[in-house]
Amino acid sequence: MKNLKKISLLVLLMAFVISCATMKKDNTVTGKVDSIESGKDGYTAKITTAEKEVYFATISIVNVGGPQNYKQLKIGDQVSVKGEIWKTDDEKHIKVQQIVSVK
C-alpha cells in the first residue's frame, strides 16, 4: 500500500512537471512579412524579426476574435502580433490572437 501511494505521488508530480514545461506563452512578435500562404480558414505569414528570428504566424478570423479584428497582411508590411508561441524542432510558430499594428 505504501508503494502504491509513492508511485501515485510520483506519477502526479511527473504530470505536473510535464504540464508546466509545455505551457504555451503569450508573446508579441514584431517584424517584416516575408511571405504569405493562404489556408483554409485564414493564412500563414512568415515574419522575420530585427534579430533575424523567423516566425510562422497563423492568422484566422476565429483566432483574432472576429472579422472586425481580422486584417489581410501584405508582403513587406511591418507588423506586431500577439498570441501563443510554440516551437518545433526547427521552426517557431505563433497562433495570432491580436494584430497589434501594421505599417
* Number of domains comprising the chain: 1
Look at residue 1 and tell me if it is in a domain. Answer: no
Q: CATH no. for residue 54?
A: 2.40.50.140
pLDDT at position 1 is 66
Range of the structural domain that residue 48 is part of: 25-102
* DSSP calls for 3-49: HHHHHHHHHHHHHHHHHHHT--EEEEEEEEEEEEEE-SSEEEEEEE-
Look at residue 71 and tell me if it is in a domain. Answer: yes
Look at residue 7 and tell me if it is in a domain. Answer: no
Q: Which three cell numbers stand for residue 49?
A: 524579426
pLDDT at residue 21 is higher than 70? no
Look at residue 41 and tell me if it is in a domain. Answer: yes
Look at residue 84 and tell me if it is in a domain. Answer: yes
pLDDT at residue 91 is higher than 70? yes
Look at residue 56 and tell me if it is in a domain. Answer: yes
Q: What digits encode the pLDDT tens for the residues 24-34?
A: 556 999 999 99
Question: Where is pLDDT greater, at 4 or 58?
Answer: 58
Q: What digits encode the pLDDT tens for the residues 38-84?
A: 998 899 999 999 999 999 999 999 999 999 999 999 999 999 999 99
Estimate to the nearest angstrom the gap between the alpha carbon of 89 and the chain centroid: 15
